[in-house]
Amino acid sequence: MASKERILCIDIGGSRVKAMVLDKEGKQLEEYRKLDTPQPSTPENVLKTIKALTQHFKIYHKISVGFPGYVKKGVVITAPNLGTAQWTGTNLAASLKTLLGKPCRVVNDADLQGLGIAGGKGLEMIITLGTGFGTALLEDGKLLPHLELAHHPVTKLYTYDMYIGEKALIKYGAKRWNKRMVKVIAILKTVFNYDRLYISGGNAKKLTCKLDDNIALANNQDGIKGGARLWR
Ligand code: BGC
């Protein structure tokens, strides 16, 4: 039997690096694995963590990566939660190709999640609630240009990252964070007029506020499957 193409998908997060192997239709072929994001999160340390994580995966032909910052043609431009100064200019796609010996594509982490989660009809928005605030927009399943909405001011003092990111959740507690989320979702509804909004990321499970009918919760494991679509 001809061997099927297998894609190694990696999601680099502010607190965990996750990986799984998929077939090209996005079906999971091996166990989902994670390791803590190394501290300091330098490119060298993150590459070492990826190497350790991928020891478990014997066969794959291509690599897809979701990175928590702005990425242009495989090169990192910003990495707000890992340290922009130490990441800017890193050609992550080329480094991983050298490290693991397979072709590699790197996109923003929320964009990768968007590809995994969106249903493919109309204007869909994916937001991820984790260390930072990730956003992706897709029209009829096609990714629209990435916006770093996380760094747009939402109040006089705070950007979205500061207002509803992990640090704010820890500092102010789930009740106050949920109130902030209600405000943020109302803004997104008015600004983007999405047909559907999906909420993913580790903190999505902390939402207790009532959500409109066109809003659904998703999880990181669905999102990482976007890695297969990156090669279609
Ligand atoms: C970054 C985004 C990223 C998000 C989630 C934000 O701080 O600016 O690029 O998608 O965190 O990781």
Cα gap 23→72, rounded to integer Å: 26
Residue 213 has a CB neighbour count (10 Å cut-off) of 6
101 and 195 together in one domain: no
Residue ending a domain, among 56, 74, 109, is 109
Ligand 1 atom 1, closest CA = 69
Ligand 1 atom 12, closest CA = 68
157 and 119 together in one domain: yes
Cα gap 140→124, rounded to integer Å: 8
Domain around 134: 112-224
104 and 184 together in one domain: no
23 and 47 together in one domain: yes
pLDDT digits (tens, 9 = 90+) for 11-27: 999 999 999 999 999 99
With a 6 Å cutoff on the Cβ, whether 110 touches ligand 1 is yes
55 and 147 together in one domain: no
CA of 151 to the centre of ligand 1 (A): 9
CA of 109 to the centre of ligand 1 (A): 7
Residue 169 has a CB neighbour count (10 Å cut-off) of 19
Cα gap 87→41, rounded to integer Å: 9
Cut 0.85: pTM above it: yes
207 and 162 together in one domain: yes
Residue 145 within a domain:
yes
Domain of residue 55, CATH code: 3.30.420.40
91 and 128 together in one domain: no
Average pLDDT over the chain reads: 96
121 and 177 together in one domain: yes
With a 6 Å cutoff on the Cβ, whether 68 touches ligand 1 is yes
Q: How many domains does the chain have?
A: 2
Q: What single DSSP character describes residue 220?
A: H
Residue ending a domain, among 51, 85, 109, is 109
Ligand 1 atom 11, closest CA = 132
Q: Taking the alpha carbons of 25, 31, 34, 35 in that order, is the dihedral positive or negative? A: negative
With a 6 Å cutoff on the Cβ, whether 148 touches ligand 1 is yes
19 and 93 together in one domain: yes
Q: What is the pLDDT of residue 3?
A: 55
DSSP string across 128-186: EESSSEEEEEEETTEEPPP--GGGSBSSSS-BHHHHHSHHHHHHHHHHHHHHHHHHHHH
CA of 80 to the centre of ligand 1 (A): 7
Q: Low-confidence residues of the chain, pLDDT below 70? A: 1-3
102 and 118 together in one domain: no
213 and 154 together in one domain: yes
Ligand 1 atom 2, closest CA = 69
Residue 87 within a domain:
yes
CA of 32 to the centre of ligand 1 (A): 22
Q: What is the pLDDT of residue 2?
A: 46
8 and 72 together in one domain: yes
Q: What is the pLDDT of residue 221?
A: 84
Residue 232 within a domain:
no
Residue 173 has a CB neighbour count (10 Å cut-off) of 10
Residue ending a domain, among 78, 109, 140, is 109
Ligand 1 atom 8, closest CA = 69
CA of 207 to the centre of ligand 1 (A): 19
**Residue 189 belongs to what H/E stretch?**
helix 166-192
- Best residue among 10, 113, 133, 199 to mutate for probing ligand 1, ranked by most atoms within 8 Å of CB: 133
Residue 229 within a domain:
no
Portion of the chain with pLDDT greater than 90, in percent? 94
Nearest to 8 by CA among 117, 23, 16: 23
CA of 28 to the centre of ligand 1 (A): 25
CA of 74 to the centre of ligand 1 (A): 16
